[in-house]
Structure 1
Amino acid sequence: MLALLRPLLIGLLLIPVCCYWAQDQVIDRIFSLMVPPLALTILLALLNLPVRKAFPKLALNGREIAVVYAMLTIACAMSGEWMDMVAPSMYGFAVFSPNNPRYGTYILPYLPDWFFFRDPAPLKEFGEGGKTFGFFLSQLPMWWPKIGAWTLLLTLITTAMLCISALLKDQWVHKERLAFPLVQLPIALTEEAGPGQTPLWKNKLFWGSFAVVFAIDMLNGFSFLYPQLPHFNIRFLGDFNKAFVSPPWNQTGWTPVGIFPYLSALGFLMPTDLLFSLLVFFFVRKAQQIIAYSIGNEQGVFGGGGLTPSPPYFSEQSWGAFIGLFVSALWLARPHLKMLWAQISSGEKDTGENPGLPPRFLFVLMLVCIAGTAAIGVGIGLPLLFVLLYVGLFLAFSVAVTRLRAALGAPTHEMAFMGPHQLILDFHGSAGLSNELLTRTLATFHFMNRIHRTHTMPSLMEGLYLADRGKLSAKGMFLALFLAIPLGTVAGFLTHIYFGYHYTPVSWVSGELGGFVSNILSTPRPPNPTAMLAVLGGFTTVMLLDFIRFRIPGFWLHPAGYALAMNFGVDYYWFGLLIVLIVKVFVQRFYGLKGYSQLRQIALGLIVGEFMAELIWAGFSMLNERQMTYSISINGKMSWDQ
């Protein structure tokens, strides 16, 4: 454990920087491989190279850098999109209640005081901007109780996910041997090169692809600041949907044609069958929109999203698919779960290849965290069984998302408005639920429902995988991840609140949530049988695909591709993945493993080149008080036109 002291201290020092970046440059952490933690790790590895030559005893080894990366990833996730949901709603209903009567009618009377401000008076200076750092520090006493309550809730639910990850790690890593594509770059950065192997930093293909994409991003960045300079655009070249002018063929919504180098490069690291499946089901989803319009259902960018389901019920299909992935994961893990239960019952220690904390300890800690979350729910006025069902659905969904990312390595997993609330409204309806229950549930647990691009559980599992791959202490990595959870949460809160005093507060989330609550309360809805059938259809599709794959080895359609493609995030980068699939199949067919190894080096160079360029442009923006700069991201500063 003493060997972890240095990386823990470095991680603690870098967490505030990482969380500041995550809150200031929001678009840098909306994809699976988030920029702030990886860019800071790359920078740390680069700075470590001269130290290794001059003072080898003082230099960090690859294992220590891996611990730092894992901590930064969790901290970034905690201060990511969950923070975007929680922090604005914590103050937003109070701050904006004078201008929005819906808040006073539907929301403020039912908000629990533990988590939300209800009186706008103490927050008068918060939305004005222009305040100093010293003034921000002077206002913190009134914020600490709310920060503490939210940190406790988020830490409890995330620690439960950490325990589940630790219990499932041996099954997914050693027995099923899932690919974990997204950690291939961190592994390449942190693993020591063996005898006869060329380190990543000395590979010519890596540096060639790095140089090309880095030069393009720097040129585009200067062109953004100085428009008279040339601009090299490959990101959004057009909209495939515009090729069709008449219905039903124009009902597929926005279908951009373009290439994002870092997202496309991740496709080279994905298993080929999963990459193929993702693209096939993306086109299946678009075909469903054409069919839905043909039978009388107008389509937009995404049909049937949000908490108001409509044909073709993509969100419901996704829910069914993720339930199927969860059930499938449990079914495959039956022998492992049986062994775990025996160890839990007897109190045996972990007998895996890289032993971690005792299974009984992990199981009890998981139950304590779930019980603590349930106690908070009961404390704010929710029924115990309702909270347990709600949290159970979220944890099942979290396991499925984690398994999807461990197997597929999806560049994004953007599942907007998917969460327990959607299933409850579809299967139970809102008519029999009180206004108090609906408001308190949706306001307090909104982070479980809004979007899952920076979901914490996949990053927790990847951190444990890094420890296993690098022969690190599993107990030490568990401790590092556990510490990063509350520290990242608090750092995210403090950064967000400081921005509220120094700039202006983020208000759209509270407005969006207020609209949802008022809509649900003002228009009670019964159970939706069609939505239920869509959930069943998604579940059945996953089960059927698994059934076929178990009996036909090499079958190319994977259920993980269906689960991910039924939601919106793939739309940004589908074209780049299509190009990657063609290139990858060609190289593997004619050049074999050697050709694929070279392709992998090129892919890693593309990712590092883009992230280093983003480090420069994001750093420039942060140092210059949020000056608008070029970004490698899929949306944000420049809308859809990059």
Structure 2
Amino acid sequence: MQQPSRATQFPYSVRAISIGTIYSCIIGVGTTYNLMVIHGSYMAIDFSAAAAVFLFFILTIVNNLTFLAAPTATLNSSELKTIYVMMIVSCSIPTMGLSAQLLPILTAPFYFATPENGWSEMIQPYLKPWLIPDNRLGIKYFYEGLPSWESRIPWHIWIKPLLAWAVLVIALCLIMICMMVAIRRQWIEHERLTYPLAQLPLEMTAKADKFILNRFFRSKMMWLGFGLVFGLSSLKGLHFYNPAVPMFETVQSILIFKRKQNLVFRLSFPMLGFFYMVNLDVAFSMWFFSLFSLLVRGFLTVFNIHVTENLGIYGSPSPIFAHLGMGAIGVLVALSIWTGRTHLGEVCQKAIYGSPEIDDGNEILSYHAAIFGILIGLIIMGGWLTLSGIPVAMTIIFLTATFVIFIGLTRIVAEAGMAEAVASTIGSSFTISSFGARSLGVEGLTAMAQTYVWSADIRTFVMASAANGLKIMDKTCRHSRPLFWAMMLAVITTMISSIWMLLNLSYRHGGINGNSWFFSGGAKAPYNYIISLLINPPDTNWLGWIFKSVGSLVMLFLMFMRSRFLWFPFHPIGFAIGPIWIMDQIWVTVFFAWMIKLIFLKYSGMKLYRNARPFFLGLILG
């Protein structure tokens, strides 16, 4: 393919951002429709951003075909990257990331209130009117659908609460993007993290030189991997509609430890592709610590050794591992900051003094704007949460814990290729367990339930998408400032389109008929948790602090050994992520990826590893 003209080299052209905005809208509407009506595979539930990959695959094929008819109309590599970055950011909004959580959690205390659960007396009086719809009949129709005699959707009851929540969400996304701007150079240039989730779009957007298709799309190995997964997925879909069609089963499990512990064998081909890109020591540590934690849990179960604590439904089912994991991820973030102290010092120096010798020309925001954005965003979020009812001191603690989790998970995604990842606990559970329910009061606990919208079931969020996006755009163009606005535009577009679609479908067909998790189990979970705390308020859990300390010390030991001895096989990230429930599901996939890569490198060297790489990227694309 001929090189584009100089006029089209700039990646942030009007057409690129316009196409990215249209695709963001499609993702907002399409994934919500899929969630509520089609009930197909989740397309925007985790960091893999399946909707973005699918749409981008179509776009790249169409773009290559366009070259045959109108070469000047073809999008260049940089423009394609911009569009993809906007799409992966948008995938963090419509379902798990925000919209499908927001509306049901706001309304659940009213729709699900009964004389038996006491929500009318114990929760409703403490909810701030500016955060919830003020029409009970409108809430009922949101869950059950409009009656036959009513055709108008009551949009007006949602305007005030959605505007209030938009302030919090935009501040949150601003902080996340600005934090990644501040840390980008440290992770990408200094530590050289692998960013496995960014490898597929980088290959898809590589320049094609004299050919119409680039090397990736000409690779037979890629199409072999693609065909394998596409074929198996097609069989699975056909089997769903016609059980006579055979299906390749990818999940098996056995009961161990006197049938009290479940050992799952799940092979995920896309995840196999991601983990093939991960360093061997990281992959080994992930499956090792996952099995190790399973053995420990089995031992504790058999001998009836347990710690009883209510931390809610999110995070590790074992309070012991919830606290160990929080201590580990805290140290992971703290030592990441310590490792990057020189760079972060330069960021602050540039932000405060404008030192000309420190170059931030490659960043999507100047360091001054990034630090200012973080501070302004934190002030807005802190003020918003305080107005919602959380005491100031607890707001600071909660925000600190939550952003430690966000940064830690983003680091894990960037280094360990975890397309599916959650933390061992969440910010609200950490705050309540560590300082007691009475430190928040009834109003604070009720407000804490509403933070589940954006800080509980965090299987996808903007920070991780922004981190991968900055890796994709690395060295694409020196003048990168428009990318920040493109990301924010993607956030706002997807938020508006997904909420609009969710309200439409809910009032037309009944939200509770669309998705039982988001409109029932997930919506009720935070309030069930808070009610249990109001009935039996726990004090500070000092045993939890001990387990957090143990987790921190183990993490420090692993990092010390790794920095002193090259032969030490365990990577600290494995300890931080190994005990979570998702690793219980995918440990065998990590093991296979590690074993295949180890064999390739040990017996055939880098050549076979590189030659096989397109096959594993094809597994992701398929």
Q: Same fold (TM over 0.5)?
A: yes
Alignment partner of 1:22 is 2:31:
yes
What corresponds to 1:622 in structure 2? none
> Residue 619 of structure 2 is aligned with which of 606, 611, 618?
606
Offset of residue 575 of structure 1: 1.6
Contact 1:147 1:490 in 2 (8 A): no
Alignment partner of 1:479 is 2:485:
yes
The separation in 1 between residues aligned to 2:310 and 2:618, in whole angstroms, is: 37
Offset of residue 554 of structure 1: 5.0
Offset of residue 519 of structure 1: 0.5
What letter is aligned with 1:104? S
What corresponds to 1:400 in structure 2? 408
Aligned residues: 596
Offset of residue 352 of structure 1: 4.5
What letter is aligned with 2:224? G
Contact 2:82 2:483 in 1 (8 A): yes
What corresponds to 1:72 in structure 2? 87
Residues 8 and 561 of structure 1: is their aligned pair in 2 closer, same or farther, counting only changes over 3 Å? same
Deviations 1:4-41 (A, max 9, x none): 31111011111121122333445333332121111111
Identical residues among aligned pairs (%): 20
> Residue 338 of structure 2 is aligned with which of 322, 327, 331?
331
Deviations 1:115-138 (A, max 9, x none): 213541233432333789x946x4
> Residue 260 of structure 1 is aligned with which of 242, 260, 268?
268
The separation in 2 between residues aligned to 1:407 and 1:265, in whole angstroms, is: 14
> Residue 248 of structure 2 is aligned with which of 208, 217, 233?
233
Residues 195 and 276 of structure 1: is their aligned pair in 2 closer, same or farther, counting only changes over 3 Å? farther
What corresponds to 2:498 in structure 1? 492
The separation in 1 between residues aligned to 2:316 and 2:546, in whole angstroms, is: 12
> Residue 474 of structure 2 is aligned with which of 468, 473, 486?
468
Alignment partner of 1:386 is 2:374:
no
1:47 counterpart SS class = helix
Q: How does 1:518-557 map to 2 (within 5 A)?
A: 518-553=531-566, 555-557=568-570
What corresponds to 1:614 in structure 2? none
Contact 1:321 1:562 in 2 (8 A): yes
Contact 1:348 1:358 in 2 (8 A): no
1:127 counterpart SS class = helix
1:67 counterpart SS class = helix
Alignment partner of 1:9 is 2:37:
no
> Residue 215 of structure 1 is aligned with which of 209, 231, 250?
231
The separation in 1 between residues aligned to 2:315 and 2:374, in whole angstroms, is: 33
Offset of residue 542 of structure 1: 1.5
Contact 1:463 1:477 in 2 (8 A): no
- Is there any run of 5+ residues in structure 1 with no aligned partner, and where? 610-642
Q: Which stretch shifts more, 41-50 or 554-563?
A: 554-563
What corresponds to 1:182 in structure 2? 197
Deviations 1:242-276 (A, max 9, x none): 2x3x53xx333x32223121122211111111111
The separation in 2 between residues aligned to 1:8 and 1:561, in whole angstroms, is: 38
What letter is aligned with 1:239? S
What letter is aligned with 1:528? N
The separation in 1 between residues aligned to 2:134 and 2:146, in whole angstroms, is: 24
What corresponds to 2:437 in structure 1? 430
Contact 2:31 2:94 in 1 (8 A): yes
The separation in 1 between residues aligned to 2:487 and 2:338, in whole angstroms, is: 28
Contact 1:305 1:315 in 2 (8 A): no
1:239 counterpart SS class = strand
Deviations 1:536-578 (A, max 9, x none): 1111121111111111125321111111112111122222222
What corresponds to 2:571 in structure 1? 558
The separation in 2 between residues aligned to 1:522 and 1:119, in whole angstroms, is: 28
Contact 2:141 2:507 in 1 (8 A): yes
1:97 counterpart SS class = coil
Contact 1:276 1:557 in 2 (8 A): yes
**TM-score (ref. length: structure 2):** 0.90
Alignment partner of 1:192 is 2:200:
no
The separation in 1 between residues aligned to 2:201 and 2:116, in whole angstroms, is: 47
Q: Which stretch shifts more, 272-281 or 528-537?
A: 528-537
Contact 1:414 1:453 in 2 (8 A): yes
Offset of residue 291 of structure 1: 2.7
What corresponds to 2:163 in structure 1? 148
1:19 counterpart SS class = helix
Residues 593 and 195 of structure 1: is their aligned pair in 2 closer, same or farther, counting only changes over 3 Å? farther
The separation in 1 between residues aligned to 2:207 and 2:73, in whole angstroms, is: 16
Alignment partner of 1:288 is 2:306:
no
Offset of residue 511 of structure 1: 1.6
Contact 1:89 1:116 in 2 (8 A): no
Q: Which stretch shifts more, 452-461 or 85-94?
A: 85-94
Offset of residue 324 of structure 1: 0.8
Contact 1:303 1:313 in 2 (8 A): no
The separation in 1 between residues aligned to 2:520 and 2:91, in whole angstroms, is: 21
Contact 1:93 1:103 in 2 (8 A): yes
Offset of residue 450 of structure 1: 1.9
What corresponds to 1:314 in structure 2? 321
What corresponds to 1:129 in structure 2? 145
Contact 2:390 2:444 in 1 (8 A): yes
- Is there any run of 5+ residues in structure 2 with no aligned partner, and where? 1-9, 36-41, 512-518
Offset of residue 496 of structure 1: 1.9
Residues 271 and 193 of structure 1: is their aligned pair in 2 closer, same or farther, counting only changes over 3 Å? farther
What letter is aligned with 2:29? Y
Q: Which stretch shifts more, 544-553 or 112-121?
A: 112-121
Q: Which stretch shifts more, 205-214 or 174-183?
A: 205-214
2:107 counterpart SS class = helix
Contact 2:12 2:483 in 1 (8 A): no
Residues 209 and 310 of structure 1: is their aligned pair in 2 closer, same or farther, counting only changes over 3 Å? closer
2:131 counterpart SS class = coil
Q: Which stretch shifts more, 309-318 or 146-155?
A: 309-318
> Residue 274 of structure 1 is aligned with which of 275, 282, 298?
282
Offset of residue 404 of structure 1: 1.4
Deviations 1:334-389 (A, max 9, x none): 11122112112212466147244221121112111111111212322333333222
Contact 2:276 2:593 in 1 (8 A): yes
What letter is aligned with 2:508? H
The separation in 2 between residues aligned to 1:576 and 1:113, in whole angstroms, is: 47
What letter is aligned with 1:500? S
Q: How does 1:101-140 map to 2 (within 5 A)?
A: 101-117=117-133, 119-129=135-145, 135=151, 138-140=153-155
Contact 1:78 1:488 in 2 (8 A): yes
The separation in 1 between residues aligned to 2:453 and 2:569, in whole angstroms, is: 35
Deviations 1:33-73 (A, max 9, x none): 12111111111111111102221110111211111111111
1:57 counterpart SS class = helix
What letter is aligned with 1:288? V
Offset of residue 85 of structure 1: 2.6
Contact 1:288 1:312 in 2 (8 A): no
What letter is aligned with 1:607? I
Q: Which stretch shifts more, 93-102 or 173-182?
A: 93-102
1:313 counterpart SS class = helix
Alignment partner of 1:205 is 2:213:
no
Alignment partner of 1:59 is 2:74:
yes
Contact 2:239 2:247 in 1 (8 A): no
Contact 2:11 2:79 in 1 (8 A): no
Residues 284 and 365 of structure 1: is their aligned pair in 2 closer, same or farther, counting only changes over 3 Å? same
**TM-score (ref. length: structure 1):** 0.87
RMSD: 2.6
The separation in 1 between residues aligned to 2:126 and 2:596, in whole angstroms, is: 56
What corresponds to 1:83 in structure 2? 99
Contact 1:94 1:117 in 2 (8 A): no
Offset of residue 469 of structure 1: 4.3
What corresponds to 1:354 in structure 2? 362
Contact 1:106 1:517 in 2 (8 A): no
The separation in 1 between residues aligned to 2:306 and 2:396, in whole angstroms, is: 37
The separation in 2 between residues aligned to 1:298 and 1:186, in whole angstroms, is: 45
The separation in 2 between residues aligned to 1:453 and 1:370, in whole angstroms, is: 22
Q: Which stretch shifts more, 4-13 or 90-99?
A: 90-99
Q: Which stretch shifts more, 474-483 or 179-188?
A: 474-483
